[in-house]
Structure 1
């Protein structure tokens, strides 16, 4: 067992932030107790069955509703874990060491500046990964029951990150960005704020554009009943097509209805006028652009690749800054 024990700067880092590690462990235990308890509560009420053999939770199953809410909010909370890790690295782990001057003690113990920083980052990354694996495992316990329900589809914010691998890439990016901010700013609160701002922007930008990484698929059909995406696909756009196959903007007909005097709503002849407008423009079919569920893993890998590139650049810059200031 002695060979497995932490030694040198790794032992110092873990010892120094043991309260944070205990807090992370407590979060995992509490999460497991909540999700496990709700699964047991949900199991007390039998499901109802469709005629075709499918089943769904009974309307009076409060355990299922609470489990669904817990999984919904749990996925949102998991999004904050990389942000918290980055803020912790930027502030208490790096910037505070320079702000208080305690880093000098470590550098007098035959530890090079690069080894000192590497130890801190590897320790933090390992602890964050273990915590993330445990929390994602707990999430999966609840996800297996409520997947596909309202706000819990595979492409939603929260489930998308919590059921894939991209959160690990976010953690690596947050660690690297936090280290760079801490080394550049060297003021605890300012470095924490800067890291939170940068990672927040990264979250928002990638979340907004992730479904632009791959081309959408298009399904067409006759105008009339709503055209749904197959196999739980993520709908990106829908509309009408003319007989030539060109896409038609329905707003043209809505504007015509609104400009017609004497109409009092769609029931007062407005719908007939709208339909005549569609016929006049030859809008005879409809389309829907969507991402099939098979795009989940390619999108995850592309987004993870972008984050790993960001992490590599930030880590390289951090060690260069450290080498320049402490050769």
Structure 2
């Protein structure tokens, strides 16, 4: 079976005293052995990441050229916004959104399941290397590659999107395509999915089954994250007492995400924003319900970074918890 983590090695490679080869990464002993075992997958991930980063850098350069040609940033957005290729942002963001799933399925799930299935784990247990060190090295190198790749993608995609981040018609800052592909979120999502895949593989001990279960798990994580994303922020409320006409509606900060709006009466009672939909006129409705203003809940774009770090910290904590489970399980039963 071929996947990102399988690369056959001979039994002599697992002798702790094996000399380090003159080619490849200058790693020693267990680090070198683990890298050599999974070198095809690691180098593939690094190469694909480098290719994607180069493409994102080129897209940013092209975007800046188009924007400055049409007067950005001093000119109003209606002059330069039509030059932005929205489809490119959408395609790139959707593609990056699958990265945690792909890494979890093809890197995390078979990382230990493959060794348990083909007997490599038994060979490790017969050497002087402890299971804890073996697990730590495999998880550490894999996590390092994941962090390097996802950080590079996050930074370059964020720099590409930065000039137009205030325009919701390009990518809404609170939506997954922007929120989940910038800052620490893609790193945290990928690490959690990969480590969870490793745990699933350790318990199921079959690579293909582990990959299928990890895929379902990763999709479930994405769905749950989608519905909980906005709960990471602190909702801000703004109220007015200048009437309920369109001209009296409060002015929200630029790029703010409106969460809810209600009508408020003189006594402080709130009514749904559609209360006046079936009334003869706004004035009649205001008199009938004693309405005198608006109450609007929103999330400002200034909270985006804090929301991302808060969500990422939760994912990092969950990743650490799963890692502890892996080591506890590995100490008790690795073969």
TM-score, L = length of structure 2: 0.79
Tell me the residue number matched to 2:103: 85
CA distance in 2, matches of 1:326, 1:25: 29
CA distance in 2, matches of 1:246, 1:83: 47
Residue 242 and residue 49 in structure 1: after superposition, are their counterparts in 2 closer, same or farther (change >3 A)?
Answer: farther
Tell me the residue number matched to 2:87: 69
Residue 155 and residue 27 in structure 1: after superposition, are their counterparts in 2 closer, same or farther (change >3 A)?
Answer: same
Tell me the residue number matched to 1:13: 34
Report the secondary structure of 1:272's partner residue: coil
Query: Unpaired segments of 5 or more residues in structure 2?
Result: 1-21
Tell me the residue number matched to 1:233: 256
Tell me the residue number matched to 1:215: 234
Q: Out of 242, 246, 250, which is 2:269 matched to?
A: 246
Correspondence 1:49-60 to 2 at 5 A: 49=71, 53-56=74-77, 58=80
1:252, CA displacement in angstroms? 4.8
Tell me the residue number matched to 1:48: 70
Deviates more, 1:123-132 or 1:71-80: 71-80
Tell me the residue number matched to 2:211: 192
Report the secondary structure of 1:289's partner residue: strand
CA distance in 1, matches of 2:132, 2:327: 7
Report the secondary structure of 1:54's partner residue: coil
Residue 35 and residue 210 in structure 1: after superposition, are their counterparts in 2 closer, same or farther (change >3 A)?
Answer: closer
Q: Aligned-residue CA RMSD in angstroms? A: 2.9
CA distance in 1, matches of 2:297, 2:81: 33
Q: Out of 313, 329, 332, which is 1:321 matched to?
A: 329
Deviates more, 1:220-229 or 1:273-282: 273-282
Q: Hey, which of these two has a bigger chunk of helix by percent?
A: 1
Query: Is this contact kept in 2: 1:28–1:135, CA < 8 A?
Result: yes
1:132, CA displacement in angstroms? 1.3
CA distance in 2, matches of 1:49, 1:76: 29
> Over residues 14-57 of structure 1, what are the superposed CA-to-partner deviations in whole Å (9 max), with x where a residue is unaligned?
2222222232233233323433433444416754359x943445
Report the secondary structure of 1:219's partner residue: strand
Query: Is this contact kept in 1: 2:53–2:156, CA < 8 A?
Result: yes
Tell me the residue number matched to 1:109: 127
TM-score, L = length of structure 1: 0.81
Report the secondary structure of 1:285's partner residue: strand
> Over residues 174-221 of structure 1, what are the superposed CA-to-partner deviations in whole Å (9 max), with x where a residue is unaligned?
232122111111111221222232333233223312322443111123
Report the secondary structure of 2:227's partner residue: helix
Query: Is this contact kept in 1: 2:151–2:187, CA < 8 A?
Result: no
Report the secondary structure of 2:296's partner residue: strand
Q: How many residues align?
A: 306
Residue 299 and residue 137 in structure 1: after superposition, are their counterparts in 2 closer, same or farther (change >3 A)?
Answer: closer
Query: Is this contact kept in 2: 1:241–1:284, CA < 8 A?
Result: yes
1:127, CA displacement in angstroms? 0.5
Report the secondary structure of 2:280's partner residue: helix
